[in-house]
């Protein structure tokens, strides 16, 4: 068992650290115009983060006990295809959900 005082010191310290990290970007730079090179790099943050969030759920889904299955692969393929075709994240998500739930409903 962890000492409650030690636990609260750790929680408080992590909270202060998180605040400092966020304030350093939002509070100090928030009102200024960022340089063009920084804005160009920030455009790729979403593209870099999304595969890291999606890949584990696709390859090792908890719903199947970590086994790869056809409905999730087909839903990912549909979402990717519609996203490329329509150039819209909303339509990609709708297509992925539609294919996933249709495949699950059909029992495939």
Cα–Cα distance between 83 and 96 in angstroms, integer? Answer: 10
pTM of the complete model: 0.59
Burial of residue 92 (CB within 10 Å: 0-12, 13-18, 19+) is: buried
pLDDT at 31: 76
Joined together, the tokens standing for residue 87 give: 């150039």
- Among 68, 72, 61, 81, smallest CA distance to 102 is for 72
Mean pLDDT by 10 residues, the chain (108 residues): 92 95 80 85 86 86 84 92 92 95 91
To the nearest 10 degrees (0 to 180), the angle between helices 70-86 and 45-59 is: 160
**N- to C-terminal Cα separation, the chain:** 47
pLDDT at 84: 93
pLDDT at 60: 87
């Amino acid at each position: 068992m962890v000492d409650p005082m030690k636990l609260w010191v750790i929680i408080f310290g992590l909270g202060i650290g998180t605040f400092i990290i966020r304030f350093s970007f939002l509070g100090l730079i928030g009102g200024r115009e960022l340089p063009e090179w920084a804005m160009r790099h920030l455009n790729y943050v979403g593209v870099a983060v999304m595969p890291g969030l999606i890949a584990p759920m696709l390859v090792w889904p908890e719903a199947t006990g970590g086994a790869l299955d056809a409905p999730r692969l087909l839903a990912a393929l549909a979402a990717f295809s519609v996203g490329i075709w329509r150039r819209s994240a909303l339509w990609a998500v709708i297509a992925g959900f539609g294919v996933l739930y249709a495949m699950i409903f059909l029992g495939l």
